[in-house]
Structure 1
């Protein structure tokens, strides 16, 4: 149908429903003469008379009867569909596509999946857990979790949890065999476990800070992994030194399985953010998900994800 076809057909159904041009025109918010012209245009376009009109009566022709019988139910279904869409405008529902790296998925999302489902049973979460950094919009995601340093332009960012700190760790056995590094430059003489971020061609550089200035060190060693938890496991086994978020290492440190190193060179950074495209209309499911995780983590929430 052309853009004006639906309006003409709706005018026709309204006239038939009222049996009167004046009352139908009042419902449509136009004059009776304008409505009469609209019906005339419809009849001219279809090449047939739909209504028999006199000054006192209005009746359907055979063609009008057939058109009305077929189109009125279809029009009612279309208007019901529109109304349903409008009524669900403020109700979180439908598919929500989320991209989240492994560490924040375990720290922030997994512990609250049950509570989120109970609060928003009509939202279907489609979660991709992966350490790559795709473009949120181009990859078709509604929401992503990113480190502050990786936030894309034109995105709304909401902080998850508190600041982060990465530290160097090694097993007591490794330190007994190879000694302690005293400054980051010493790492060049140590066996370090490297991490290759999925989707990135290079290896992750270890970040340190001195007098407020950040710098990186390119390390070398016997193992390269794409999953950072494996690096920690290998460090416990004495393969080499690892570099990861302090919170994720704390229990192993407390158990004496790992020893923190170079702590005075390891600084805090902002940590993880929920992000979604900046636009005039934000879907209710996106607002619900962002607000829920923000409440669940907050400034005192779990801050050990990296």
Structure 2
């Protein structure tokens, strides 16, 4: 395959990732017309349509999805291999892309960036918030952050945080209308503000323990959100109970804006782990990131 054909295919992958010729052109530093021409050239050469285009969206066809499934990991490995050459430079360099849930980003990743980035100005870290179980290879991330126990067995996992205490909370206004439950079974009589998980499309289950056995409970409610900050706000407004990391509501508990319930039935969740594929080429920048994040407690 000629070099120009490889470059064309890389351009197609960017368009498919961005789902937009305009955004792809901006990311590639090219004119939109040039990007469109490249995609048409690939489709003409292969004899199949790779992208479905409407006035509002761009999406891969079945043929396009098959091509992306093969090309995406290959291009990711190529990017990583080039980034690993930073080992030969005086200072680590490169961009590291991480997918993480909101709580991990707020409490672990962003605070750690001060230690990493101030002394290493040639490193760039891009953090994408996503509650789904991202395929870091297919989605071209360098690593992901999820709770222990949620990580695929074929990934390398490095613990980066302690276990996470959880809390079920409600506002005084809410409890003025509904008596606080004293057992998990009584949650059936209550309303909750829930978190939607994009991977499964289901609501996040609350992990509770009783009689030496952990169970997962889903509580119905009037509001479903995809941000723990918004869930906290809704709980403060009295819209329902919320299941949240304790550190995110501790100040509200101290100030009596929220009331904690069922604490003896609410176990800690396994700590956050950084995970990445076995075949990833560890650049100096990525190795430094791991060392910065590694939990030493």
User: How do 1:271-286 residues align onto structure 2 when only pairs under 5 Å count?
Assistant: 271-279=271-279, 281-286=281-286
Checking the alignment, whether the CA contact within 8 Å between 2:87 and 2:284 is kept in structure 1 is: no
2:201 aligned residue: 201
Equivalent residue pairs, number? 215
Rounded Cα–Cα distance in structure 1 between residues aligned with 2:91 and 2:154: 25
2:224 aligned residue: 224
Checking the alignment, whether the CA contact within 8 Å between 1:90 and 1:284 is kept in structure 2 is: no
With 230-239 and 156-165 compared, the bigger mean Cα shift is at 156-165
Structure label with greater radius of gyration: 1
Rounded Cα–Cα distance in structure 2 between residues aligned with 1:194 and 1:252: 19
Judged with a 3 Å threshold, the aligned counterparts in structure 2 of structure 1 residues 130 and 165 are, in CA distance, closer, same or farther, namely: same
Rounded Cα–Cα distance in structure 2 between residues aligned with 1:244 and 1:109: 19
By how many angstroms is 1:92 displaced?
Answer: 2.5
User: How do 1:187-266 residues align onto structure 2 when only pairs under 5 Å count?
Assistant: 187-266=187-266
Rounded Cα–Cα distance in structure 2 between residues aligned with 1:124 and 1:188: 47
1:161 aligns with 2:145: no
Alignment partner of 1:119: what SS?
A: coil
Alignment partner of 1:150: what SS?
A: coil
Alignment partner of 2:185: what SS?
A: helix
Judged with a 3 Å threshold, the aligned counterparts in structure 2 of structure 1 residues 189 and 116 are, in CA distance, closer, same or farther, namely: same
Give deviations 1:161-201, integer Å, cap 9, x for gaps. Answer: 21112221011121121101111111111111111023331
User: Which ranges of structure 1 fall in alignment gaps of 5 or more residues?
Assistant: 1-81, 300-306
Rounded Cα–Cα distance in structure 2 between residues aligned with 1:241 and 1:277: 38
1:122 aligned residue: 122
1:19 aligned residue: none
Rounded Cα–Cα distance in structure 1 between residues aligned with 2:85 and 2:231: 49
Across the aligned residues of Structure 1 and Structure 2, the Cα RMSD in angstroms comes to 2.2
Checking the alignment, whether the CA contact within 8 Å between 2:86 and 2:94 is kept in structure 1 is: no
Checking the alignment, whether the CA contact within 8 Å between 1:194 and 1:224 is kept in structure 2 is: yes
By how many angstroms is 1:85 displaced?
Answer: 4.2
Rounded Cα–Cα distance in structure 2 between residues aligned with 1:126 and 1:145: 13
1:176 aligns with 2:172: no
- TM-score normalised per structure 2: 0.67
Checking the alignment, whether the CA contact within 8 Å between 1:164 and 1:271 is kept in structure 2 is: yes
Checking the alignment, whether the CA contact within 8 Å between 1:172 and 1:258 is kept in structure 2 is: yes
Checking the alignment, whether the CA contact within 8 Å between 1:89 and 1:284 is kept in structure 2 is: no
User: Which ranges of structure 2 fall in alignment gaps of 5 or more residues?
Assistant: 1-81
Give deviations 1:13-50, integer Å, cap 9, x for gaps. Answer: xxxxxxxxxxxxxxxxxxxxxxxxxxxxxxxxxxxxxx
Checking the alignment, whether the CA contact within 8 Å between 2:205 and 2:216 is kept in structure 1 is: yes
Rounded Cα–Cα distance in structure 2 between residues aligned with 1:203 and 1:132: 12
By how many angstroms is 1:91 displaced?
Answer: 5.3
Rounded Cα–Cα distance in structure 2 between residues aligned with 1:87 and 1:270: 34
Rounded Cα–Cα distance in structure 2 between residues aligned with 1:191 and 1:197: 18
2:105 aligned residue: 105
